[in-house]
Amino acid sequence: MKRSIELLIIALAALCAASCADSFKDIKITSGKLVSISPRGLSAFDAVMELEVDNPAPQVTLSEMTALVKMNQEPCLHLTAEDVTISPKSRELYTVVFHGYLDENFNPFRLLELLGKASMESLTMDIRFRGSLKSGLGKHFEYKDIPVNDLMNNI
């Protein structure tokens, strides 16, 4: 399950950075590493990741980041991330804190279905966040039903 959570969080971060690429063509997440997962009760957790970001563009701040992970179109995991400001024209390592919890109607034992599979074909994500320039100008981005496999292949 740790690997699944790591992949989902990396996918969220990659999509957030790549979405700003509409304005800033070359922003890339070059690597990601799960540093820690801390359970909060039976159905919630906090996760800390280190993400290396190559940003040849101006400074951008990602805020209001949320994601809904779905298994076979049923909500299973809700994720939020703390705001991140990506330095301009740099390649830096960022520590990002994620908070997650299982959907109240989701049976956590269904996650065991992922253990025997090399891919996560049944998983999709709905993602929403705000990307803002240093000047404060920004835009909300929203993406629905993105296959997690597609995200993972682009990292």
Q: Is the pLDDT of residue 108 over 50?
A: yes
Residue 108 or 149, more confident? 108
In CATH, what number is assigned to the domain containing residue 90? 2.60.40
Helices (H), 1-147: 2-19
How do strand 123-133 and strand 44-55 relate by DSSP bridges?
A: unpaired
Show the tokens assigned to 106: 């989701």
For 76-88, the pLDDT digits (tens) are 989 999 999 999 9
pLDDT classification of 153: cutoffs 50, 70, 90: low
pLDDT given at position 21: 44
Res. 138 pLDDT band, cuts 50 70 90: confident
Question: Any residues with CB less than 8 A from the CB of 59 and at least 6 apart, and which?
Answer: 85, 86, 87, 88, 133, 134
Note the pLDDT tens digit of each residue in 3-54: 666 666 776 666 655 554 454 556 787 887 878 889 898 889 898 888 888 8
Q: How far is CA 13 from CA 33, 102, 128, 154, in A?
A: 11, 19, 11, 12
What are the backbone angles phi and psi of residue 10, rounded to the nearest 5°?
Answer: -65, -40
Q: How many domains does the chain have?
A: 1
Q: Which of 32, 120, 23 is nearest to 70 (CA)?
A: 120
Which residues, including other chains, have CB under 8 Å from residue 127's CB and lie 6 or more apart?
12, 15, 16, 19, 65, 66, 67, 68, 141, 142, 143, 146
Tokens 């994720």 belong to 79
Quickly tell me which residue has 């949320």 as its tokens.
Answer: 66
pLDDT of residue 32: 77
Domain span holding position 78: 2-153
Please give the Cα distance from 69 to 126 (Å, whole number).
7
**% of the chain beyond a pLDDT of 90:** 24
What CA–CA distance (Å, rounded) separates 81 from 129? 10
